[in-house]
Structure 1
Amino acid sequence: MQETPPSGSSTPQPLIVPSRSDPLLSAMTEPVGGPLGRRTAPGVVKPGFFTVERVLVLVTAAAALLAVVLKGHCRTSGWATPDQYSTVCYSVFPNAFLDGQLEKLVPFFSQGSPFDGPVLAGWVAGAAAWLTSAAGGGPVRQLAFFDVNAALIALLWILTVVVAARTAGRRSWDAAIIAASPVLILTAYVSWDFWAVAPVALALYFFARGRAVASGAALGVAAMAAPYPVVILLALLFLGIRAGALTKMLELLAAALVSWLLVLAPVMLFNPPAFADHVKQMMAAEPTESSIYGGYNLVAQRLGLDEMHVGTVNALSAVLLVVLVLGIMALAFYAPHPPRVGQLLFVAVAGYVVLSKDTEPWHAMWLVPLAALALPKWRPVLLWQAAVVAHFIALMLFRSKGLGNLGNQHAIDMPYFLLAAMISMLATCALAAMVVRDIYAPEHDVVARGGQDPQGGVLDPAPARAPHA
């Protein structure tokens, strides 16, 4: 598989090599001979078998296997509480298999199904349960259910990396940020969120190729796996308005709505109340411990203060999300230079992760591919991921204390968890602030030095202009 030349170019273009330009990678490559030589021309000279994409696939496969190894305790001993938390091998999959009664009920299709994940996750869970029916029952089938879901996510991980490499244009090596991500290694198999991450990556690839309808369709499917693609749709709409490409943005929105309805249609046909019940459960759910609202409630509970009720949390989070959308709109319309697609999407999704009442540390996987496009600088991205990893481990140890009543040797108390959650949140905000700085000062943006936005394909035909022009 050879690298795809940039759109509009009939001759190979040299690739950007991060080991030459990124200070951290330059230092890290010293033990193996240092950065790639100046006289080499990757992307122009044929590399033989080891093309960029094939190397990235191999790195991703190794990371996916390492992620399975990290779940080793639970795979051999089962997903029992508190062990699954104290050993940091927790996963939604095996727990949902039991709690959702997937041995006999199909999510969203069977009456009375207690499955509480999104619709697309329900589709995947139902299919995985059917595939493992020959495994019998009990722990053996629970393990088989986890393995099937992990295998599917490993394929999605590889797809995401390859698509991101092609979306990045001449900076295809930046997809290594996704391939070797510590956050993904630790959390890829925790939830079904990768079923949103991969379609979003596809949507950006189609967007970069000028295919608005295909991009919208992919985002519509992604929105059935996680809510954050809605924020992405709004950010793209704002960029389209500034670029004078409103018609294409309306095509994108229409395609997203149609694909969203197509995923939902079978559920509405066979079990109409299921989706309404799912929405009611989302509204009635308490804020997670990792959210700013859940964190406040933990402190209020410890100090004997009044906690925020669910209604208050829903109202406050809705107001803050509206403020976020207005801020993204202002950034898209009034920044001196039009933000790159990857930049605005990263800021939008980062804001959503910080302000949502349902945020979890593994939601950082939504941001990893966007970070590779928005801020492909290894040092700040790795520091941010280190904070997220610490947050995830702290949450597991905090839950092992609360749910398993463990001693401090295998658990941590609330203040330490909140400290880790706060550091992770601040790290996310700091990374978003760096992206905003690059928007206002493009000389800091390593991608902008290459000229045209590699992801701006749908917006390219129309000249950028101010929204009031």
Structure 2
Amino acid sequence: MARGWVDFLGGPMGRFAPIGRARFWSPLRAVFTVAWVFLAFAALAKANCAGGRPDENGVLRLNWDGNRQYTSFCYNDIVPLFGGRGLDQPGFVYDYSWVEGDLTRYMEYPVLAGIFQNVMGFISRNTYFLVDKFLPDVGWYFYLTAFVMSVIWVITARMVAELTGNRIWDTLLVVASPLLIMHAFTNWDIPSIFFLVAALLSARNRKFWLAGALIGLGTAFKMWPLFALGAYLVLAIRKRSWGPFLKMVFAAAVTWLAVNLPVYLRNPQAWGEFQRLNTERSWEWTTIYAVASRAVGWTGFDSGGGTPEILNTVTLLLFLGGCIFTAVIGLMAPRDPRVAEILFLTVAFFLLFNKVWSPQYSLWLVIPAVLALPHWRLLATWMTVDMLVWPILMWHMLGTENKGIPGEILNVVVLARDGLIIAMMVLVVQQMLGRRHDKVLEAHNGKDPLLTRPAEWEERKVPA
């Protein structure tokens, strides 16, 4: 499969190839072109939820008639949260509130994600006059947000091309992922991926303070980039070299505080909404807990309403157990594990055991998977099955009274996705233990391209 792609895009570099004399095409330009094509597909996949129709006054209003968010599986959080979180109005997003029952609600995203939405709302409101004849205001907000995140994604792909090193064509697995079509614009996850990849590249270039700051920014956007520190912790223990790790931890903590503290001091209740919601919510539709509930009628660990304290504890303990398992394997391995291998296992354990698996979370796993286990057929199969979870979920959410599908079909697709991820985890563990050959190490003279620079990948020539 990889060979077919590479041949279609021009083939591998030949022995006599004149470097830098191509008229136009190069591996990077091929990657960028594929990235923009798939991002266009992603925008089109959500387009049916961003259009409108005129009201009685001739003003374009959002049109979600006929349950099109389900029937077109174009639902995304960007559109409904424009008005639902006050982004269509002037003001600071964490000052906006509304009442649900006896509870005052605020923006439920981490601070940097909320500010990003706030900035995009400001830009869209002040440029809407350019397209008010063609789009509703929320549609313009969606497309503007999608464009900005597309630019961020292309920059991310450029950094991934650096991290893939001598296997630059593996970047195609990232930019041509079916998951990108389905979930690039389901939520605001792309900037958090950017921060993580930028941190990995900075650490590769020995810029540990910058790497830590980027992890802090990523954590202020979505929590999961913090998991990268676990990989560097395992390596610090193995190498007994604590300086780089401690620099990253300190820089991450200071950066996270610098972003969060002003919002906390301004409105502690709004700042704490993210933690409150994630503590009090129950499981999401595509988690292992929801599968068990649909399959056998299980009502959960907790009885009655209120905060699911036992579920929270179980998910935390399972994830911590996964982290300990990953660390033990990393410390026992006959060679130093690669950063991508530890990061992939950590993110995978989080997704499998967490009580919330919003389907766009699967985007988090794409780059760690490609860097850890560049087996094209396996990864393409997983991403395709994972992509199908979303339309099947949307079809199920219609309800059987509206010709929706029963939960058993959703269970099959979710279990297939989870099974493929577990299979990938097994292969990564075998790779770490030296029981499977590592394509990445083979391409880089036994070096981890996330820890070493290109000059270190060259063969050492023994003098005659």
TM-score, structure 1 length as denominator? 0.85
Alignment of 1:332-343 (within 5 A): 332-343=330-341
Percent identity (aligned):
24
> Match of 1:216, as an amino acid?
G
Q: Does 1:92 align with 2:59?
A: no
1:465 aligned partner:
none
Corresponding residue to 2:195 among 196, 199, 203: 199
CA distance in 2, matches of 1:317, 1:395: 22
Matched, 1:73 2:48: yes
Q: Name structure 1 gaps, 5 residues minimum.
A: 1-23, 462-469
Structure 1 distance, partners of 2:64, 2:202, is 39
Pick aligned residue for 1:123 from 115, 124, 138: 115
- SS of the aligned residue for 1:281 comes to helix
Q: How far apart in 2 are the matches of 1:33 and 1:123? A: 39
Change (3 A) 1:197 1:58: same
Measured in 2, the distance between the counterparts of 1:413 and 1:373 equals 37
Deviates more, 1:188-197 or 1:237-246: 237-246
Q: Is the 8 Å Cα contact of residues 79 and 90 (structure 1) preserved in structure 2?
A: no
Q: 2 CA distance for matches of 1:341 and 1:97? A: 38
Q: Paired residue for 1:26? A: 3
Post-superposition offset of 1:162 = 0.1
1:213 aligns with 2:205: no
Are residues 400 and 48 of structure 1, via their aligned partners in 2, closer, same or farther at CA, if it must alter by over 3 Å?
Answer: same
CA contact (8 A) 1:293 1:313 kept: no
Q: How many pairs align? A: 427
Q: Does 1:62 align with 2:37?
A: yes
Kindly state the Cα deviation for residue 127 of structure 1 after the two structures are TM-superposed. 0.9
Using the TM superposition, give the Cα deviation of residue 341 of structure 1 relative to its aligned residue in structure 2, in angstroms: 0.9
Q: Deviations over 1:399-423 (max 9, x none)?
A: 2227xx521xxx3111111111111
Question: 1:7 aligns to what?
Answer: none
SS in structure 2 opposite 1:358? coil
Distance 1:79 1:339, change over 3 A: farther
The Cα of 1:384 is off from its aligned counterpart by 0.7
User: Does the 8 A contact of 2:94 with 2:270 survive in 1?
Assistant: yes
Aligned to 1:466: none
What CA deviation, in whole Å up to 9, does each residue of 1:259-278 have, x standing for no partner?
11122122123222212232
> For the residues of structure 1 that align with 2:432 and 2:23, how far apart are their CA atoms?
38
Q: Distance in 1 between matches of 2:235 and 2:6?
A: 38
Helix, strand or coil at the partner of 1:223:
helix
Measured at CA, do residues 81 and 225 of structure 1 come closer, stay the same or move farther in structure 2, by a change above 3 Å? farther
Once residues 219 and 17 of structure 2 are traced to their aligned partners in structure 1, the CA distance between those partners, rounded to angstroms, is 40
- Cα distance in 2 between the residues matched to 1:272 and 1:36: 55
How far apart in 1 are the matches of 2:79 and 2:313?
Answer: 33
Structure 2 regions of 5+ residues with no counterpart?
53-62, 99-104, 303-307, 457-464
Give, in whole Å, the separation in 2 of the partners of 1:241 and 1:215: 19
| Residue identity opposite 2:167 in structure 1 | R
Tell me, what secondary structure is at the counterpart of 2:398? helix
The residue that corresponds to 1:330 in the other structure is 328
What is the identity, as a one-letter code, of the residue corresponding to 2:96?
S
Tell me whether 1:348 sits opposite 2:359 in the alignment.
no
RMSD: 2.5
Residue type of the partner of 1:215? A
**Residue 150 in 1 paired to residue 146 in 2?**
yes
Change in Cα spacing, 1:40 to 1:383, as seen in structure 2 (3 Å) is farther
Contact 2:179 2:362 in 1 (8 A): yes
CA distance in 2, matches of 1:275, 1:373: 35
Give CA deviations for 1:317-343 in whole Å, capped at 9, x if unaligned.
011011011112102211111111111
Seen in structure 2, the aligned counterparts of structure 1 residues 431 and 235 have a Cα distance that, compared at 3 Å, is same
After the TM superposition, list the runs of 4 or more consecutive aligned residues in structure 1 that deviate by more than 6 angstroms: 136-139
CA offsets per residue over residues 324-364 of structure 1, 9 Å max, x none? 11112102211111111111111111111111111122211
Cα deviation, 1:239-273, whole Å, max 9, x if unaligned, reads 12212221210111111111111221221232222
* Mapped contact 1:238–1:332 kept (Cα < 8 A): yes
Aligned CA distance change for structure 1 residues 200 and 342 (closer, same or farther; 3 Å): same
CA distance in 2, matches of 1:241, 1:35: 42
Partner of 1:456: 451
Aligned partner of 2:55 in structure 1 is none
* Residue in 1 that maps onto 2:291: 295
Amino acid at match of 2:292: Y
Shift of 1:115: 2.4
Which has the higher mean CA deviation after the structures are superposed, 149-158 or 369-378? 369-378
What is the aligned counterpart of 1:418 among 411, 420, 426? Answer: 411
